Amino acid sequence: MPKVELIGLNKIYNNDVQAVFDFNLEIEDGEFVVLVGPSGCGKTTTLRMVAGLEDITAGKLIIDDKDVTTMPPKDRDIAFVFQNYALYAHMTVYQNMAFSLVLRKENSNLIHKKVLAAAEILGLTDQLNKKPKQLSGGQRQRVAIGRAIVRNPKVFLFDEPLSNLDAKLRNSMRRELLLLHHKLKATIIYVTHDQMEALTLADKIVCMSMGYVQQIGTPLDLYYKPNNLFVANFIGLPPMNLLDVEVKATTVKSPHFELPLDSNHQELLRNYIGKKVVLGIRAEDIYEQGSIPLKVRLNENLGQSTLVHGNFKDQKIVCKFKRWVNYQPNDIIKIGFNLEKIHFFDKETTMVIR
């Protein structure tokens, strides 16, 4: 599988609306890269530029050391798996999977071997004579993936392939996609608005907002070291708690609590003394015992853990405790923050303070 380079890609439509701004990304051989962000952030437009389904306004696209920026889609040697499966209803599973190879006029024996091999990988061997309407949503998506596998493309492109499935089936298909990636060692570019899909599937995540790349990194990078407030709020379920605080010489203070700063944090915030910044902390980095009073609104019991939603007056906060709790609405509990896991963000630039 080849390396893919997106160099300064821009997309401007005829009505002068710009959907993607200066997109730069290197995808290594065999890497699983996920583009994630809310609707309208430019992730699908970027994928379609890679596929050749959208013209690139400016920039270059390199696949396997070849400039394919203006090359027709059929010559790019990529396979696109669509959100809505795009199967031919009148064809059997076998015929759907073989269709692109038939168009290429490949040897019939070779086509048969490729289809059977893909069906074996995807668990579709006993479904080959069925029509799409006879299959479940998950099976139809596997057929769409199988149609891509038989082509043995240089790059696989997935556009929100699990969004039409129910929650249980999405979880199952995520596992199947991971296993498939391990078997094929394929270069994959995958688009989703679901940040949990991004965290569980990706070797590398590209988080986008309003046409701009906000951060590129491993799932752990984006979860534990967000570049800005958007990434902190978008990545993670629940999102990071974000609280306004004022920086003092040795503490940060809000109307609801005051936290001591160690020497590293004091140095980090020395230019912000007397100013307000945003403190970020993950729900799991909040202790159940502490000195900060919190009024409980509700519990979300998840089995081995509980999300406790509470308020500092008008400020909402979510804690994740590693046990089943039964607090009642309006209970006052005392919490504490893991001071080694707090983040600080500049209120004006929204960037992390490092």
Of 275, 278, 282, give the one whose Cα is nearest residue 220: 282
Residue 196: helix, strand or coil by DSSP? helix
Hey, what are 275's tokens? 């100013």
> Where do the domains of the chain lie?
4-234, 241-346
What are the φ/ψ torsions at residue 21 (nearest 5 degrees)?
Answer: -120, 115
**Average pLDDT for 226-250:** 96
Q: Give the integer Cα–Cα distance in Å for 308 and 296.
A: 7
Q: What percent of the chain has pLDDT over 90?
A: 78
- Asked whether residue 141 carries a pLDDT value surpassing 90, the answer given is no
pLDDT in tens, 38-91: 999 999 999 999 999 999 999 999 999 999 999 999 899 999 988 887 889 999
Q: Where are the alpha helices (DSSP H) in 125-254?
A: 137-149, 167-184, 195-201, 219-224, 229-234
State how beta strands 204-209 and 212-217 pair.
Answer: antiparallel
Residue 312 DSSP SS3: strand
Q: Over the stretch 292-304, which tens digit does the pLDDT of each residue have?
A: 999 999 999 998 9
pLDDT for 170 equals 83
Whether 283 shows a pLDDT value over 90: the answer reads yes
Question: E strands within 64-211?
Answer: 66-67, 78-81, 155-159, 188-192, 204-209
- Tell which residue, 123, 105, 101, has the closest CA to residue 113: 101
Q: How far is CA 51 from the centre of its chain?
A: 19
Q: Indicate the pTM of the whole model.
A: 0.90
What average pLDDT does the segment 147-152 reach? 89
The order of strands in the sheet holding 241-247 is 258-260, 251-253, 241-247, 276-281, 343-346
Nearest of 150, 154, 190 to residue 3 by alpha carbon = 154
Long-range contacts of 220-226 (CB under 8 A, 24+ apart): 223/199, 225/352, 226/280, 226/343, 226/352
In sequence order, the 6+-apart residues with CB closer than 8 A to the CB of 142 are 122, 123, 124, 176
Q: Tell me, what's the pLDDT at 121?
A: 86
Residue 59 contacts residue 45 (beta carbons within 8 Å) = no
Arithmetic mean of pLDDT over the chain: 93
pLDDT top residue among 346 and 100: 346
Which token pair is 155? 């790059």
**147: helix, coil or strand?**
helix
For residue 194, the 8-state DSSP code is: -
pLDDT of 347 over the 90 cut: yes
pLDDT category at 313 given cuts 50, 70, 90 is: confident
Separation between Cα atoms, residue 232 and residue 230, nearest integer Å: 5
Given this model, what pLDDT does residue 42 score?
96
Mean pLDDT in residue range 261-279: 96
Q: What is the pLDDT of residue 56?
A: 97
> Which CATH code fits 241-346?
2.40.50.140
> Do residues 199 and 223 make contact, with C-beta atoms less than 8 angstroms apart?
yes
- The answer to whether residues 173 and 2 touch, using CB atoms and an 8 Å cutoff, is no
What proportion of the chain, given as a percentage, has pLDDT over 70?
100
Residue 214: which of 38, 27, 346 has the closest Cα?
Answer: 38
Average pLDDT estimate for 20-29: 97
Residue 1: per-residue pLDDT: 52
**What local confidence, expressed as pLDDT, does residue 324 receive?**
93
pLDDT digits (tens, 9 = 90+) for 158-203: 999 888 778 887 888 888 889 889 888 899 999 999 988 999 999 9
CATH (residue range 4-234): 3.40.50.300
Residue 38 · residue 193 · CB < 8 Å: yes
Q: Give me the mean pLDDT over the 108-121 stretch.
A: 92
Question: Does residue 216 contact residue 208 with C-beta atoms inside 8 Å?
Answer: no
Mean pLDDT to the nearest integer, 241-261: 95
Q: Which two tokens stand for residue 49?
A: 């530029």
pLDDT, residue 83, reads: 81
